[in-house]
Amino acid sequence: MSRVAIIGVGQSEFVRAYPGSVRELAFEGFKDAMRDARLTAKDIQASIICSAPEYDKQRSPAGVFAEYLGLNPQPTFYVESLCSSSSMGLRLAYSLVKSGLHEVVAVIGFQKMSEISSAESQERMGRGADIQWESPFGTMMPAYYAMYARAHMAAYGTTLEDLALIRVKASTYGPLNDKAVYRKPVTLENLSNPEDRMAGPVASPLRVGDCCANADGSSCVIVASEAKAKTFCQKPVWILGLGAATTSVNLAGRDLFTGLTVAREASRQAYQMAGVGPRDIDVAEVHDCFTIAEMMAYEDLGFAKPGEGRDLIRSRATYKDGSIPVNVDGGLLSKGHPIGATGGSQIRTIVLQLRAEAGAIQVKDPEIGLVHNIGGVGLYGNVSIFGR
């Protein structure tokens, strides 16, 4: 059967407050990807718009964007799975192309989170959990992941310094990423000094430096059939494996708090489909909404055994020159987290790595890359594997 490729990737700058409209924001990532793929609007046979609702006033953004981007009368779809929306959009695009319904599909992720206050944003995120039994009691994203951090520390002896080392790595590469919001270095001293803002408490044991921040941004991934890829693209990146999973929305319905079952199941599916294993991955992007999330991802993806993820960051194995480079674009901790655009940004990084076009953050000669994208507090899990 024919393969499915990514032939173009794009991303806006991730910023704290984008001055334009949501359609203009979506255009930024779309324009970048279309230039990368050297396509025009008439080449796009379908579009998939990905975001989490209620951060801006526009309802049914897919139709609005299709018109604004000049994609009518081609069909458009709207996909939402919280923070993993654009990875889920990639899964849909793959299916549309693999089935033969379309040959070229644009996956556009966006979020303009600055239109509401931080308090309102936290409330929206809280409602990504169960609105009957959890969010009315004040649970929010930092508190949820703080529970996972506490459980990991209790089970394996993980320390605050282990988590801080993940933020230090992120800030090593954030300054090299011109699309990132945060480009200033962060040191262990910053995170251990009680008078430093980065060490301020958020939800114990998580501090300011352990948490990513909201951002405005967009991303775009152009997916094509093998025939179209060979027509348009000199360096196609092939989609080798896709995995997806869900779990109980209530944390009371879960039996694991030192990892995310959706990540373990999605990675199992993706590895099986791609015919590879954790040791075959040359570079990875993982969903580091919090430092503990990256730590758990090391273990959920099989890069380390449960409880041994800390050894990877302590030994710098997840740095650019290490045995398994992870988030060498700064990750969400440096880039910021515009919910619907995040997965597409992660995919963009891996595509550029596999095309040897990543500049200062280029990993040496990667052949296989992985993207791990989580929605909500481990409610949705997507793992995607790519090959050059």
Instruction: State the catalytic residue, choosing from 102, 152, 287, 337.
Output: 337
Q: Is 337 a catalytic residue?
A: yes
DSSP states of 216-241 = EEEEEEEEEEHHHHHHH-SS-EEEEE
Dihedral, 194, 209, 304, 315 alpha carbons, nearest 10: -60
Q: How far does Cα 71 stand from its chain's mean position?
A: 26
Q: Which of 91, 141, 138, 89 is nearest to 113 (CA)?
A: 141
Are residues 75 and 105 in contact, defined by beta-carbon separation less than 8 angstroms?
no
Length of the chain: 388
Give the E-state strand segments of the chain in sequence order.
Answer: 4-11, 46-50, 76-79, 104-112, 201-203, 206-207, 216-225, 237-246, 283-285, 368-375, 380-387
CA distance 66 to 76: 7
For 346-383, letters b (16+ CB in 10 Å) and e give bbbbbbbbbbeebeebbbeebebbbbbbbbbbbbbbbb
Furthest C-alpha separation in the chain: 60
- Mapped onto helix, strand or coil, the DSSP state of residue 300 is helix
Marked catalytic residue, from 50, 83, 211, 233: 83
Residue 221 bridge partners (DSSP): 9, 107
Using the structure block, give the residue that is written with the tokens 């299916």: 95
Q: What ranges make up the beta strands (E) of 14-134?
A: 46-50, 76-79, 104-112
Cα–Cα distance for residue pair 262/375, rounded to 1 Å: 10
Contact between 163 and 292 under an 8 Å Cβ cutoff? The reply is: yes
Inter-residue contact 238 to 273 (CB < 8 Å): no
Which residue numbers are catalytic? 83, 337
